[in-house]
Amino acid sequence: MTATQFRTCPLCEATCGLSITMNGDRIQSVRGDDDDVFSHGFICPKGTAVKHLQEDPDRLRAPLIRDGETLREANWEEAFAAVERGLGAVIERGGKDAVALYAGNPSVHSLSATVMLPMLIRALGSKNFYSAASVDQIPKHVSCGLMFGDPLLIPVPDLDRTDYLLVLGANPWISNGSLATAPDFRGRLEAIGRRGGKVVVIDPRRTETATGADEHLFIKPGTDAFLVLALAHTLFDEGRVDLGDLEDHVTGLADIERIVEPFTPEAVAARTGIAPDDIRRIAREFSDAPSASIYDRVGVHQHTFGTLTSWASDVVNAITGNLDRAGGRMFPLAAHAQPDPEEPRGRGWSTGRFSSRVKGYPEAFGQLPVATLADEIEEPGDGQVRALVTIAGNPVLSTPNGRRVAAALSSLDFMVAVDPYVNETTRLADVILPPPPLLSRHHYDFAFYQLSIRNVANYSPPLQTFDGPDEWEILARLALVMSGGSAAADPHLVPAMGLQYLIDRAVRPGGPLEGHDPGAVATALEGREPVEQILDLRLRSGPYGDRFGDVPDGLSLAVLEANPHGVDLGPLTPRLPNALRTVSGKVELAPEMIAADIPRLLADLERPADDMVLIGRRQLRSNNSWMHNVPAMVRGSNRCTLVMNPADAARLALSEGAGARIVSRVGEVVAAVEVSDEMMPGVASLPHGWGHDLPGVRLSVAGANAGVSANDLTDDALIDPLSGNAALNALPVTITPAEISGNGHAPGSSSSGSPSKVVDASA
Ligand code: SF4
C-alpha cells in the first residue's frame, strides 16, 4: 500500500518541495514536488539523499556515553544523568562561562533547534556561545545591522525580476544559493538572460555559475572590497548616483563620496587583477540597467575584509536606486516575522557588548568568533572553558585550525553533543544525544523564509515516528541542566516559558495582538507539540496571520497543514523605511564602525600579493562535512582535489593526479592535483568538509572516501575584526610535490593528531 507525502527538503537553504512515496513504513522514492508553490518540482541530487540519511545504519538510534576510551550505548535517562553530572560539575567549579555552546549549520535547518536555541543560550548564561555563522555569513549580519539597524534585516537579490546580477564569491549553480532562498537558483539565473538581462560573475575560479554566466572576470582572492569601492567611485565620478525612492530615507551619502575617493579603478587594478576599463564598464552597465543587484556571498565574506565587502556591496545597491525596489535587493517579509511598525523604530544595533576572554574579540550578533574557541579552552584562568555542548556541529572539520580544535576538545573536562553521528568532533564527546532523523521531525524554515526571494510558507509534519525524545525535548532538558535544574524535570516547562513570553509580547500595546486576552491566546494554541504552538503563534500574529479571528482568511499552522505544497504569499514588496531599526530611522550608508575600518583597507591596497593563496570550493554532492556518508554522494572519482592553473602546476613541478603538499602557517596536508585553467594563476582551490579518516569516527562510507580537511590549513589567527568571521579564503600557502597514496592523499596527511579521548570505532 503506497502513499505520497509532501515535505520541504531540510538540507540546504533552497527549501525545495519533496514528494516522498511511502510503501507502508518504507520510503519507496523521493522526487521533486511538481506542485510545490516555490520549487515547482526542482530538486538537486542531494534531495534524494534524505532516504539514505533516514535509513543510514551509521546514524545513532540511542545515546552514547563515554566509558574510558570507548563510547557505549546507553538509555536516555542514563545519558541525561551523565549530562547533569558532567555539566553540573564544570559549572560548580568554573561558573557558567566555563561551559561553551557551539551550534553547527544544520541547527538552523531544524524547527526545534531554531525555536529552542535562544532558550538554551539564555538558560546557560555563558558568554561562550559560538556558531558556524562565524565561519560563514556574520559579515552580512554586521553590515546590515549597522546600515539597517537589525542584523536579520538582510536584503536579497530579487532574482526573478532583476535585469543585471553581479555575483561576487558565490557559486549558486552548485550551492543552490545562500542568504537568498531560491529553489532552482540556476534556472532563475538562466531566465535573466532569456529576458534580455545579464549575469556577471567575478571570482578567482571560473565556477560552474561563471561558466553559465554572460561574463566572468578573475579577481585576486580577498580584494573584492577594492573592486566594489572602485565601482562606487566610478558612480560618483560619472554622476551616476541616484538613490531613487530612498532619496529621503538615507544618511551618509557625502561620507560615502569621501570614503570611495581614493579607490579609483586605476588604484585598485593591480591589487584586484581587474582592468580599470572593465571596472568602469561594469559600473556603467550596473547603473544603466533598469534594475540591478550585487549578490555577495561566502567567498567574499570569509576573509579579513568580509564586513567591508558586504557593506560596500549594499552601498552600491543603494546608490544606484536598487535597494528595496523590484529587481534590486529587497527585504523578504516572512510569514512568522513581526509585522513592520507604522514608523521606523530607531533603536540601532551594534557589536561588542562583551569580548572574548583571551584575545578580546568583540561579540557580534550575540556570539564570539569560533576561531577563538581553542584559545578559550587552552588558556588557564578565570572563565576558562572546560565543557562544550555542540548541536549539529562538527568544528573539527568546519572551523579554522581543525587539528588544534581537536586537541583542545580532547582536553575538556566534559563534552556533550546533540548529533546523529559519531563524527570527527563528536567522537571526542562524553555523551552523544541523537535527535530524531530528518524525516521524523516537524519542519518549517524559520531562518530561510526571512531570506527568501519570494514570500512563501510551508510546514511539514513528521513523516515517520522515532523511538526517542523529540529534538525540542533534548534541548529543553539541556536547558534545565544548564540553568541549574534537573534533567529529570518536566521538559515542557522550558518551551512553555518561551511561549508565554511571546504571547505577552504580542498582546502588549503596539504588538500585533494588542487587545487580545493572553489566556485566550494560550488556550487557542493548545493541543499541539510545544514548538508547533510557538510556530502557530508566530504565524497567526505575523504579517499575514489570522490574528486569532481578526483576519478570517489569515494564515495559521492549520492553514499550512491544509496546504502541503506550501502557501505563496507573493513577490517581495518594498519595506523601507518602516522596517528600519536605525537610530536615525534611515539607511545609514556610512556607519562609524565601518568608516573607522577604511584605513586598514587602504593600507592593504599597497600590500604585495602572496605567491600562492588557497580558496575553498562548493561541490554539488557535499553539504559542509556531513553528506559524505551517503554512497550516491561520494560515488566516482576523488573530489577532494587541489585545483590549480596549468602555469602554477608547471612552475611548481606538479601534474594532473600528482600529490601536492600544501603548507600554511598552522598545518599541512597532501592532496591530489587537478590542473585546470578554471583557476586564476596564483590561486589554488581545496574543498572543505573532508578529512574523515580520524580515529574513532563511525562513518563507514565517508571513512572510505576520506579526503583531507582544508581546515587543517586555515589559520585561526586570521579573522575579520569587525565581525569575527574566520578568514578561510585567500590563505597564503606554499605548495610542493609530494607522494600520494592510492586513495588520493598522503598516508597520515589528514590526521588531526591523536586526541586522548579517541573512541574505539568497534565499540
Ligand atoms: S537544492 Fe537544497 S533544498 Fe533543494 S533538493 Fe537540493 S539540498 Fe534539498
Closest ligand 1 atom, CA of 50? 8
The answer on pLDDT for 85 being more than 60 is yes
In a domain, 308, yes or no: yes
- The CATH number given to whatever domain includes residue 427 is 3.40.50.740
**Average pLDDT estimate for 39-55:** 95
Question: Which residue in the block uniquely carries the three cell numbers 496546504?
Answer: 563
CA 9 to ligand 1 centroid distance, Å:
6
pTM: 0.96
**Average pLDDT estimate for 699-720:** 96
Residues 249, 588 contacting (CB under 8 angstroms): no
pLDDT given for residue 79 in this prediction: 98
pLDDT given for residue 742 in this prediction: 52
> Which of 13, 16, 105, 624 has the most ligand 1 atoms within 8 A of CB, as the residue to mutate?
16
Residues 231 and 318 in one domain: yes
- Hey, whose CA ends up nearest to atom 6 of ligand 1? 44
- The CATH number given to whatever domain includes residue 19 is 3.30.200.210
pLDDT given for residue 763 in this prediction: 28
Closest ligand 1 atom, CA of 12? 2
Residues 99 and 234 in one domain: no
- The CATH number given to whatever domain includes residue 657 is 2.40.40.20
Q: Average per-residue pLDDT in the chain?
A: 95
The answer on pLDDT for 682 being more than 50 is yes
In a domain, 316, yes or no: yes
Q: Cis (ω within 30 of 0) for the bond into 577?
A: yes
Question: Which residue in the block uniquely carries the three cell numbers 583557476?
Answer: 679
CA 720 to ligand 1 centroid distance, Å:
30
CA 12 to ligand 1 centroid distance, Å:
5
Residues 65 and 25 in one domain: no
- For residues 9 and 438, what is the distance between their CA atoms, to the nearest angstrom? 9
Cell of 51: 532516504
**Average pLDDT estimate for 119-128:** 95
- For residues 140 and 218, what is the distance between their CA atoms, to the nearest angstrom? 23
- For residues 82 and 120, what is the distance between their CA atoms, to the nearest angstrom? 18
Give 486-526 pLDDT, tens digit per residue: 988 999 999 999 999 999 999 999 999 999 999 999 999 99
Instruction: Write out the H or E segment, with its range, that includes residue 283.
Output: helix 276-288
Give 552-602 pLDDT, tens digit per residue: 999 999 999 999 999 999 999 999 999 999 999 999 999 999 999 999 999
**Average pLDDT estimate for 152-168:** 98
Give 558-570 pLDDT, tens digit per residue: 999 999 999 999 9
pLDDT bin (cut points 50, 70, 90) of residue 654 is very high
Give 619-643 pLDDT, tens digit per residue: 988 888 888 999 999 988 889 999 9
- Residue 433: name the closest of 461, 483, 398, 468 by CA: 468
Amino acid at 392: A
Cell of 127: 558568554
Residues 694 and 662 in one domain: yes
CA 548 to ligand 1 centroid distance, Å:
34
CA 687 to ligand 1 centroid distance, Å:
19
A 10 A CB-CB count for 600 gives: 13
Strand, coil or helix: what is 438?
helix
Closest ligand 1 atom, CA of 47? 5
**Average pLDDT estimate for 607-611:** 91
Strand, coil or helix: what is 123?
helix
pLDDT given for residue 624 in this prediction: 83
CA distances from 542 to 143, 296, 456, 536, 581 (A): 26, 29, 13, 10, 18
Task: Write the CB contacts of 683 (distance below 8 Å, at least 6 apart in sequence).
Answer: 204, 205, 220, 221, 612, 613, 614, 615, 644, 645
The answer on pLDDT for 758 being more than 60 is no
Closest ligand 1 atom, CA of 184? 1
Give 162-200 pLDDT, tens digit per residue: 999 999 999 999 999 999 999 999 999 999 999 999 999
Closest ligand 1 atom, CA of 15? 3
Pairing mode, strands 642-644 and 668-675: parallel
In a domain, 529, yes or no: yes
In a domain, 339, yes or no: no
348 DSSP assignment: -
pLDDT bin (cut points 50, 70, 90) of residue 1 is confident
pLDDT given for residue 751 in this prediction: 44
The answer on pLDDT for 333 being more than 90 is yes
**Average pLDDT estimate for 47-58:** 94
Cell of 750: 589528514
**Average pLDDT estimate for 73-100:** 97
pLDDT given for residue 25 in this prediction: 85
pLDDT given for residue 757 in this prediction: 57
Q: Which residues pair with 251 in a beta bridge?
A: 588
**Average pLDDT estimate for 29-36:** 98
Residues 78 and 167 in one domain: no
Q: What range defines the domain where residue 454 resides?
A: 1-55+438-460+570-580
pLDDT given for residue 701 in this prediction: 93
pLDDT given for residue 677 in this prediction: 98
Residues 450 and 418 in one domain: no
pLDDT given for residue 621 in this prediction: 87
pLDDT bin (cut points 50, 70, 90) of residue 746 is very low
Residue that wins the pLDDT comparison between 761 and 564: 564
CA 743 to ligand 1 centroid distance, Å:
29
The answer on pLDDT for 750 being more than 50 is no
Closest ligand 1 atom, CA of 32? 5
> Which of 6, 7, 9 has the most ligand 1 atoms within 8 A of CB, as the residue to mutate?
9
The answer on pLDDT for 250 being more than 90 is yes
Give backbone dihedrals phi and psi of 389, rounded to 5 degrees, phi first. Answer: -115, 125
- Hey, whose CA ends up nearest to atom 2 of ligand 1? 12
pLDDT bin (cut points 50, 70, 90) of residue 754 is very low
Closest ligand 1 atom, CA of 623? 7
**Average pLDDT estimate for 340-349:** 89
In a domain, 759, yes or no: no
Residues 167 and 271 in one domain: yes
CA distances from 463 to 4, 27, 84, 438, 458 (A): 10, 10, 32, 9, 15
In a domain, 351, yes or no: no
Residues 91 and 7 in one domain: no
CA 624 to ligand 1 centroid distance, Å:
14
Closest ligand 1 atom, CA of 45? 6
Instruction: Write out the H or E segment, with its range, that includes residue 166.
Output: strand 164-168
Residues 387 and 254 in one domain: no
| pLDDT over 90, % of the chain | 91
pLDDT given for residue 410 in this prediction: 98
CA 538 to ligand 1 centroid distance, Å:
25
> Which of 7, 8, 11 has the most ligand 1 atoms within 8 A of CB, as the residue to mutate?
11
The answer on pLDDT for 272 being more than 70 is yes
> Which of 31, 33, 42, 44 has the most ligand 1 atoms within 8 A of CB, as the residue to mutate?
44
Name all residues whose Cβ lies below 6 A of ligand 1. Answer: 9, 11-12, 14-16, 43-44, 46-47, 176, 183
* Domain count along the chain: 5
Residues 377 and 417 in one domain: yes
Closest ligand 1 atom, CA of 8? 3
CA 549 to ligand 1 centroid distance, Å:
36
In a domain, 345, yes or no: no
CA 17 to ligand 1 centroid distance, Å:
8
Residues 260 and 183 in one domain: yes
**Average pLDDT estimate for 397-401:** 98
The answer on pLDDT for 422 being more than 50 is yes
Residues 452 and 500 in one domain: no
CA 15 to ligand 1 centroid distance, Å:
6
Give backbone dihedrals phi and psi of 539, rounded to 5 degrees, phi first. Answer: -65, -45
Give 385-397 pLDDT, tens digit per residue: 999 999 999 999 9
- For residues 516 and 71, what is the distance between their CA atoms, to the nearest angstrom? 52
In a domain, 762, yes or no: no
